[in-house]
Amino acid sequence: MFPQANTIVRVEEGKLLTESQYETLLNTDNLQSAIKELDDLDYFETYREITIDNHMEILDLLLEQTFRLLFEITEEETTAIYKLFALYYDIHNMKIAVKEKSLDTKLDDLYLNVGYYPKRNIRSVLVDKKYDILKNDTLTKGMFEALETKELYDVNFILDKVYFKALLELTDELDSVHITDFVKKKADLYNISAYYQMLVSKASKSFFYLAYSDVGYLKFENWQNLIEEKGNEMFLEMSDYSSIWESTKDGKSITTFDLTVDNYLMDIVKGAKLMAFGYEPICAYFYAKFQEIKNIRMLLVGKKNNYEIEEIKKRMRLRYEL
């Protein structure tokens, strides 16, 4: 379908870190040694000198470069692929814009430099809904709904739900069963996370109902029965997410839960390695690359704080390898 884009992705895929390279990085003595090892691999793809003081800035630039590559290989009719990955950052920036408006203050330092929509456009949305600056009804309505809420705390809940709704709409443009399935499962896992946080924090039931996204496979009625203790306690155990549910038991932490979720999703993504062409392998590579950048960020933070190797390792996500 897209031979040039798919070919570029296959080449870039070969540059993803291997298990042995991860092991070498984990076994470095300190942060400086880990940075040098990455620099020797040309991981950061820059001619700038990388130091203890600027390595996180350089990693942020790598994230931006990865988005640029995605933009460059995305043809006009497949802009939805770029928007799929950019939306997470767009939603973050929309939350900041709404909070700025509500608090009547500037929060420039909290905006992220990646995303599909420029910061000025996101800020301008809240001037007047009729201008349709984003050319996206779901996002525009969501921002105004968040602006109108009486509780600033609810802004995150509202726009997180908008995120999943807009994400599913983008998958409709791609008309891929696999990508749609991935998004629906991601929404289910978000709901499971909200349920788990409600239990751990001993929050009221309203916490879950505020957070709940209706985009996933697991239906509201089942959640309601579970939360209101009307039976149906086997709801999660009997679903496709029993392994995720197991990670929440025995007092395991949110960190462990999030790691289990990310690994579950990466296992799904790996199947795209078997596809030669189409949207799926393009999306799979970039998902893996963004996860890899997250891994490296965790590894470097661990080295900076002198964490034990096993402590760092158990926080890192699965690699994109069969």
Do 122 and 51 belong together in one domain?
no
Per-residue pLDDT at 184: 96
List Cα–Cα distances, 259 to 15, 81, 190, 244, in angstroms.
Answer: 23, 25, 13, 10
- Asked if 145 and 158 touch (Cβ cutoff 8 Å), the reply is yes
pLDDT, average across residues 17-43: 93
Radius of gyration of the chain (CA): 21
Same domain, 154 and 88: yes
Q: What is the pLDDT of residue 322?
A: 60
Residues 170, 182, single domain; the answer is no
- Retrieve residue 234's tokens: 């086997």
Structure-token pair, residue 23: 């092991």
Overall number of domains in the chain: 3
Q: How confident is the model at residue 272 (pLDDT cuts 50, 70, 90)?
A: confident
Angle subtended at Cα 294 by Cα 56 and Cα 321, rounded to the nearest 5 degrees: 135
Domain for residue 261, yes or no? no
70 burial (CB, 10 Å; 0-12 / 13-18 / 19+) is: buried
Same domain, 88 and 108: yes
CATH assignment at residue 5: 1.10.132
Band the pLDDT of 315: cuts 50, 70, 90. confident
- Report the chain's mean pLDDT, rounded to a whole number: 89
**The predicted structure's pLDDT at residue 110:** 94
The predicted-structure confidence for 100-123, as pLDDT tens digits, reads as follows 999 999 999 999 989 999 999 999
DSSP string, 172-217: HHHT-HHHHHHHHHHHHHHHHHHHHHHHHHT--HHHHHHH--TTSS
Does 1 map to a domain?
yes
Distances (CA, A) of 301 to 20, 37, 187, 190, 311: 20, 15, 29, 26, 12
In a domain, 10, yes or no: yes
Rounded Cα distance, 160 and 145, in Å: 12
User: Using one digit for the tens of pLDDT, what is the confidence trace for 64-98?
Assistant: 999 999 998 887 667 889 999 999 999 999 999 99
Instruction: Based on the fold, state whether residues 83 and 171 are members of the same structural domain.
Output: yes
Give residue for tokens 């779901």: 138
Residue 262 lies in a domain: no
> Is 260 domain-assigned?
no
What is the per-residue pLDDT for 134?
93
Residue 249 has a pLDDT of: 66
Residue 77, classed as helix, strand or coil, is helix
Contact between 62 and 293 (Cβ < 8 Å): yes
Domain stops at, among 175, 197, 216: 175
- What six digits make up the tokens of 225? 């029965």
Claim to verify: residue 53 and residue 2 sit in the same structural domain = yes
Residues 154 and 225 in one domain: no
Residues 163 and 82 in one domain: yes
DSSP state of 129: G
CATH number of 93's domain: 1.20.1690.10
* Residue 152 shares a structural domain with residue 193: no
Q: pTM for the full model?
A: 0.90
What pLDDT, on the 0 to 100 scale, is given for residue 1? 54
On whether both 171 and 182 belong to a single domain, the answer is no
Q: Among 136, 154, 175, where does a domain finish? A: 175
Q: Are 52 and 94 contained in the same domain? A: no
What pLDDT does 127 receive? Answer: 87
Do 98 and 155 form a contact (C-beta atoms < 8 A)? yes
307 vs 300: CA distance, rounded Å: 10
SS3 1: coil
44 falls within a domain: yes
Of 144, 175, 206, the residue that ends a domain is 175
Q: Which residues contact 214 (CB under 8 A, 6 or more apart)?
A: 220
Per the domain annotation, does 217 fall within a domain? yes
- Specify the pLDDT at position 144: 95
State whether 166 and 208 are in the same domain.
Answer: no
Within 8 A by CB and 6+ apart from 290, the residues are: 63, 66, 85
Examine the pLDDT at 239 and tell me if it is beyond 60. Answer: yes
Contacts of 130 (CB under 8 A, 6+ apart): none
CA-CA distance, 156 to 211, in Å (whole number)? 9
Cβ partners under 8 Å of residue 43, min gap 6: 17, 62, 296
Q: Which domain holds residue 106?
A: 78-175
Q: Is the pLDDT of residue 251 over 60?
A: no
Distance CA 80, CA 50 (A): 34
User: In this predicted model, what pLDDT tens digit does every residue of 146-167 receive, in sequence order?
Assistant: 999 988 889 999 999 999 999 9
Element (H, E) at 74: none
Residue 263 maps to a domain: no
The b/e string for 162-173 (b: 16+ C-beta within 10 A; e otherwise) is bbbbbbbbbbee
Give the pLDDT band of residue 33 (cuts 50, 70, 90).
very high
Asked whether the predicted pLDDT for residue 231 surpasses 80, the reply is: no
The span from the CA of 205 to the CA of 68, in Å, is: 42
